[in-house]
């Protein structure tokens, strides 16, 4: 980013070429600075007879950004003394639910940090069939997974010895964690997220189901890098993840809501949740490529580390972020906690590589360290 240059010009440089090349049907980019927020829309929503670009209140599915709300809720409940990180699966599940000894010994901490050894999804023939169907049709990969199926799967699942387990991303782990929160509290997970996070922060369009009015603002998802055997920009319907898997990836939200969530995480909102959400930023696991916090991933761009691209030369920059993909949507939320900056990117294509979020956040950090950040229209 040019020092002091308008933010919009930099967002345009990153987003508009992707629209022009057909990599994206549409996107909305939100920027948070200590001075406020801005949103920029590109392309089109994909809704019939709607040539307009997505806006700040356009609704997307956000995939694994959902897991930030699972981790945040767990952290809040631990701070309230309702749960503790060392509670085990076996201790919380009802006695009549049988799981293997390995699974029963897993702690809530291992589930939220992805260090318990659970696979990403069930390793079964049925998953292969659903994946093959997805590659051709874009239909839900996880449509067969319900609570009954998962409990039966966990009944016989054997894990590696604890000494051999490493960080391994698991959709099942997040879903199981949400299920355990429900059982322990005796309340629906979706209700708890609404009460503990969405209502206090006034996230009016963030949740796991849409009413009729919100449906009118849901942008249409499209094929992108995946599914492999669908034409890029072919429409794909949003996924119903089902009762068990919904917390892991089925959240809907808007750029405006996610910017508000980011502002609270940055301590800029003035909400009682600001300091409590900050607990999720603490590094829990260090891996060769990145650090792992509670729900968040942390990338470091240090002054002693040669930049791998022209975009990664902001010395001493640490980006705390989450990336999500589901159906025909891609989501990104990233923060520079030191400089109080955040970027939200919501796209209505499923693309595996983030080409806007990290690059924009790094440019903002570099501009902040030189002549400051200027909003659109600034000299």
* Domain spans, the chain: 7-81+187-369
List, in sequence order, every residue forming a beta bridge with 43; answer none if it has no partner: 26
Provide the pLDDT confidence category of residue 304 given band limits of 50, 70 and 90.
very low
Provide the pLDDT confidence category of residue 45 given band limits of 50, 70 and 90.
very high
The token duo for 328 is 């025909």
End-to-end CA distance of the chain: 15
Provide the pLDDT confidence category of residue 5 given band limits of 50, 70 and 90.
low
pLDDT at 302: 66
Q: Has residue 288 got a pLDDT over 50?
A: yes
Query: Closest Cα partner for 121 from 242, 248, 286, 294?
Result: 248
CA distances from 376 to 7, 362, 369 (A): 6, 18, 19
106-110, 165-169, 297-301: which is most confident: 106-110
Q: Has residue 93 got a pLDDT over 70?
A: yes
pLDDT at 315: 53
What is d(CA 30, CA 253) in angstroms, rounded to the nearest whole number?
13
What is d(CA 175, CA 289) in angstroms, rounded to the nearest whole number?
25
- Residue pair 369/3 in contact by the 8 Å Cβ criterion: no
- Residue pair 323/352 in contact by the 8 Å Cβ criterion: no
Provide the pLDDT confidence category of residue 4 given band limits of 50, 70 and 90.
very low
Q: What is the DSSP string of 216-254?
A: TTBPPEE-SS-STTS-TT-EEPPP--HHHHHHHH--EE-
Query: Closest Cα partner for 260 from 65, 32, 29?
Result: 32
Give me the chain's average pLDDT, please. 91
List, in sequence order, every residue forming a beta bridge with 331; answer none if it has no partner: 324, 346
- Residue pair 278/284 in contact by the 8 Å Cβ criterion: no
Residue 138 CA from chain centroid, whole number: 20
pLDDT at 127: 84
CA distances from 93 to 184, 241, 277 (A): 8, 22, 27
- Residue pair 269/210 in contact by the 8 Å Cβ criterion: no
Helix ranges, the chain (H): 7-20, 66-79, 89-92, 101-104, 108-113, 125-137, 147-156, 171-185, 189-193, 199-201, 212-215, 242-249, 255-265, 273-277, 357-369
Distant-in-sequence, close-in-space partners of 376: CB < 8 Å, separation ≥ 6: 6, 7, 8, 9, 38
pTM of the prediction?
0.91
- 7-81+187-369: in CATH 3.40.50.150: no
- Among 68-72, 175-179, 262-266, 305-309, whose mean pLDDT is lowest? 305-309
Report the interhelical angle of 147-156 vs 171-185 (nearest 10°): 110
What is d(CA 62, CA 323) in angstroms, rounded to the nearest whole number?
9
Provide the pLDDT confidence category of residue 314 given band limits of 50, 70 and 90.
very low
* 180 conformational bin, left if phi > 0, alpha if psi -120 to 50, beta if neither: alpha
CA distances from 85 to 78, 109, 233, 265, 281 (A): 7, 5, 43, 21, 16
């Amino acid at each position: 980013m040019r020092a002091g240059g308008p933010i919009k010009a930099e967002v345009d440089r990153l987003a508009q070429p992707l629209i022009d090349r057909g990599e994206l049907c549409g996107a909305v980019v939100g920027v948070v600075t200590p001075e406020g927020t801005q949103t920029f829309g590109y392309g089109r929503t994909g809704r019939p007879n709607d040539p307009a670009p997505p806006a700040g209140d356009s609704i997307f599915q956000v995939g694994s950004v959902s897991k930030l709300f699972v981790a945040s809720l767990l952290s809040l409940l631990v701070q309230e003394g309702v749960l503790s990180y060392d509670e085990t699966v076996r201790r919380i599940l009802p006695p009549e639910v049988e799981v293997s000894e390995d699974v029963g010994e897993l702690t809530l901490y291992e589930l939220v940090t992805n260090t318990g050894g659970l696979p990403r999804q069930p390793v079964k023939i049925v998953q292969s069939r659903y994946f093959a169907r997805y590659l051709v049709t874009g239909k839900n990969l996880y449509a067969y997974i319900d609570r009954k199926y998962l409990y039966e799967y966990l009944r016989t699942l054997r894990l590696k010895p604890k000494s051999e387990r490493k960080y391994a991303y698991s959709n099942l782990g997040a879903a199981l964690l949400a299920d355990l929160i429900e059982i322990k509290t005796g309340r629906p997970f979706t209700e708890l997220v609404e009460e503990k996070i969405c209502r206090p922060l006034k996230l009016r369009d963030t949740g796991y189901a849409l009413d009729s009015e919100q449906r009118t603002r849901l942008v249409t998802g499209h094929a992108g890098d995946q599914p492999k055997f669908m034409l890029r920009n072919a429409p794909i319907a949003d996924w119903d993840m089902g009762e068990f898997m919904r917390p892991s990836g089925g959240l809907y939200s808007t750029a405006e809501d996610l910017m508000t969530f980011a502002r609270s995480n940055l301590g800029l909102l003035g909400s009682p949740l600001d300091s409590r959400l900050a607990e999720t930023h603490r590094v829990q696991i260090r891996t060769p490529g990145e650090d792992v916090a509670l729900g968040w991933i942390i990338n470091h761009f240090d002054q002693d580390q040669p930049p791998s691209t022209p975009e990664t030369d902001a010395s001493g920059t640490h980006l705390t972020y989450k990336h999500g993909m589901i159906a025909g949507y891609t989501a990104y939320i990233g923060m520079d906690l030191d400089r109080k900056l955040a970027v939200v990117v919501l796209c209505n294509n499923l693309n595996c590589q983030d080409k806007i979020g990290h690059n924009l956040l790094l440019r903002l950090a570099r501009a902040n360290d030189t002549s400051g950040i200027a909003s659109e229209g600034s000299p």
